[in-house]
Amino acid sequence: MTKAQFYKSIVDLYIKTGQGLTSAVVKMDSNFRLKIDSLIKEGYIKEVSVAHSDVWYCLTDRYCVEEDPNPSAYSFIRYYLNHDDLGLGVKRDYIDKNKNLKAKYLKWLELHKTELEESFSKKPAEIEEKKEEFTDSEIEFIISRSWYKKSIKEAVPMINDVLSINNTKIVVISQLISLLKIQKEKSNNTIDNSTKIAEYEQEIKNITENSTLRHKIIRILSEHKETVAVNTIIKKKK
């Protein structure tokens, strides 16, 4: 699934339910996380924290029920979209039969009418897909990996395992650097750890660059079927 297709699926979900995408879905697939981060950076999606709930990802150019302070907003948006089930076991006719609640709905609708009409009628934004390519040195790195001839389904978990290990390494090395710097300060510079500190800082830089490349690999592989072999997608340049 490309980033544009992923964005379109979020719009389709919104049109159908009136809600954004829960982070519980994003946590299920690291490829979703990469695409969400990119869409947030480009301004198409925003992250919304909901009390006593998960984080939600909402479209920036439309009404966002997750940001509405009205406690009945979730039921009202479902009512507006002609859903029979308004959530928590409440059926549509409950609002129809309750004059007080119906009055509150009409007041909510008056407040948001223009925004709602625009939100559910506008076309999805056109997402530009920037084609990423690998440099010669990046391809050489990929070819040298044990997962190069494996399927995407097999390769991605292996890549993610290394990314997880890399994150742990960065935390540990950062702590070592801090300890060495403290030791140097307390000794009034009689203990010179500069060389060791520089080595550790270079190691963090190398790990970070490695992780950046691995994220790039996952982004590109995620656009293909998981049964396809990595070596059929990424090949040595002639």
Say whether pLDDT at 158 is over 70.
yes
Give the mean model confidence (pLDDT) for residues 190-219: 87
In 32-98, DSSP assigns E strands to 45-49, 55-59
Of the given ranges (1-5, 200-204, 225-229), which has the lowest mean pLDDT? Answer: 1-5
Give the mean model confidence (pLDDT) for residues 6-10: 91
Say whether pLDDT at 63 is over 90.
yes
In the chain, DSSP assigns E strands to 21-22, 45-49, 55-59
What is the Cα–Cα distance from 136 to 22, expressed in whole angstroms?
A: 39
Say whether pLDDT at 238 is over 70.
no
* Residue 95 pLDDT: 92
Residue given tokens 């909901």 in the structure block: 50
Considering only residues 226 and 88, tell me which one the structure prediction assigns the higher pLDDT.
Answer: 226
| pLDDT tens digits along 36-55 | 888 998 899 999 988 767 78
Say whether pLDDT at 155 is over 70.
yes
| pLDDT tens digits along 102-143 | 999 999 999 999 999 999 998 888 887 677 788 888 899 899
What is the Cα–Cα distance from 92 to 83, expressed in whole angstroms?
A: 7
Token code pair at residue 112: 């948001």
Structural domain boundaries in the chain: 3-119, 136-233
- What's this model's pTM, rounded to 2 decimal places? 0.60
Say whether pLDDT at 237 is over 80.
no
